[in-house]
Amino acid sequence: MLAINHEQHDVVIVGARAAGAATGLLLARMGHDAVVLDRADLPSDTISTHQLARTGVVALHRWGVLADVVASGAPAIRQVTFHAAGESSTRPIKDKSGVDHLLAPRRYVLDTLLAEAAARAGAAVRTGITVTGVERDDAGRATGVHGHDRHGVPIKVDARFVIGADGLGSRVAHAVGADIVEDRGADGATLYAYYSGPEWPGIEFFTADGQFSGIFPTNDAQACIWVCAPSATTRAARRSARSAEDVFEAQLRFGAPDLARRLRTARRTSPVRGMLRAPNQLRRAHGPGWALVGDASYHRDAASGHGLSDAFRDAELLALALDRALRGDESEETALGGYERRRDEALREIFEITCALVTYPPVPEFVALTRQLGVAIDTEAAALAALPMPGEPELAPV
């Protein structure tokens, strides 16, 4: 790949995975000059249990990417089974908001497809680029980024807007001083691994005292098997165990013994990965010349399975705000202030449910929270599906 050296664009997006690639895709479709940078090459993996709630599937459908994701071999998931208190119930995925299935594509598949879609739309997607800092003018406004390519050649990109889509440890957020405006702690842990072997007929959830675990069918006839539990519990177990694999298997035997037995005939195809402390936090989402999206902006525990849906929803909100600012329809402060306000309003209900889930209340209360979560997701998905597509003119009222 050629070194960038020095370029100028309307928008530079740091991070080419779900949130960054989606933002670049939408901006390019609206006619803007966006460049998307990432230090990793694609395809490559990242820490994620990667289930797409209905909102996320609706977003992919709206953007015309859903068919490509299904064609990648990510199975269309058409049923969900809940196991709790010795009872099991299976429900079909209903046809709502224009989609009749869920998905859990591997991140190396999903992120690559979104980046390719962004490039087809006209965004410049550059991998092997490490951004080390944000350029700022004398007034403190972000004016671009600097860093180096895979060969160590310095690069500099000037832009009207700098977007941090570079994850929980966002360098952009730290460089611009984006404060954490709400911190609800990091009391949950998630461990997961991939298995092949048995049939994976659909998503399954297993609820036990102090633990939540499950199955997400994914690419290559494999499944992501995951366990969520209090951080203190998992960290204590990790300190006394020989390996993360030992902790993971012990958690499954405790909280999902039927699943643990089923996995005896399966083959684990990956190491055990995850997070021992998952923050629940919001950062200030914008400032002079910059904005944040995805985990850089807002991070929540994996227990609600909503991270990718949050990223996609907020990518649309941010792309629309940037479009208004770039075209001069609104001032930068009005447009990006509106983005942050809409982000805060959109995330609130599911954020509160997530924070309640990671207290791991008694099983009946935990199950009730998961039902509230399902209703909230369906409401959110319906609202997204009803919006006009970014870049398409709204019909005048009749």
Condensed to tens digits (0 to 9), the pLDDT of residues 219-245 reads 999 999 999 999 999 999 999 999 999
Q: What is the pLDDT of residues 336-379, one digit of tens each?
A: 999 999 999 999 999 999 999 999 999 999 999 999 999 999 99
pLDDT at 397 exceeding the cut of 90: no
pLDDT of residue 2: 45
Q: 198-217 b/e with 16+ CB inside 10 Å = b? A: eebebbbbbbbebbbbbbbb
CA dihedral 350→355→357→361, nearest 10 degrees, is: -140
What element of type H or E holds 28?
Answer: helix 18-29
**Domain limits, CATH 3.50.50.60, in the chain:** 6-74+106-184+279-360+372-382
pLDDT of residue 89: 97
pLDDT at 398 exceeding the cut of 80: no
Mean pLDDT rounded to a whole number for the chain? 96
pLDDT at 205 exceeding the cut of 80: yes
pLDDT at 36 exceeding the cut of 80: yes
The CATH fold of domain 188-278: D-Amino Acid Oxidase; Chain A, domain 2 (3.30.9)
Q: Are 154 and 148 in contact (CB under 8 A)?
A: yes
Confidence of residue 4 (pLDDT cuts 50, 70, 90): low
Q: Are 21 and 125 in contact (CB under 8 A)?
A: yes
pLDDT of residue 32: 98
- Residue 82 is encoded by which pair of tokens? 């809940």
pLDDT of residue 168: 97
pLDDT at 280 exceeding the cut of 90: yes
pLDDT at 396 exceeding the cut of 80: no
Confidence of residue 390 (pLDDT cuts 50, 70, 90): confident
pLDDT of residue 55: 98
pLDDT of residue 198: 87
CA dihedral 175→318→42→143, nearest 10 degrees, is: -40
Q: What is the pLDDT of residues 53-104, one digit of tens each?
A: 999 999 999 999 999 999 999 999 999 999 999 999 999 999 999 999 999 9
pLDDT of residue 251: 97
Q: What is the pLDDT of residues 118-165, one digit of tens each?
A: 999 999 999 999 999 999 999 999 999 999 999 999 999 999 999 999
pLDDT of residue 391: 73
Angle, alpha carbons 78-349-356 (nearest 5°): 90
Superfamily classification of domain 6-74+106-184+279-360+372-382: FAD/NAD(P)-binding domain (3.50.50.60)
pLDDT at 395 exceeding the cut of 80: no
Lowest mean pLDDT among 84-88, 105-109, 277-281: 84-88
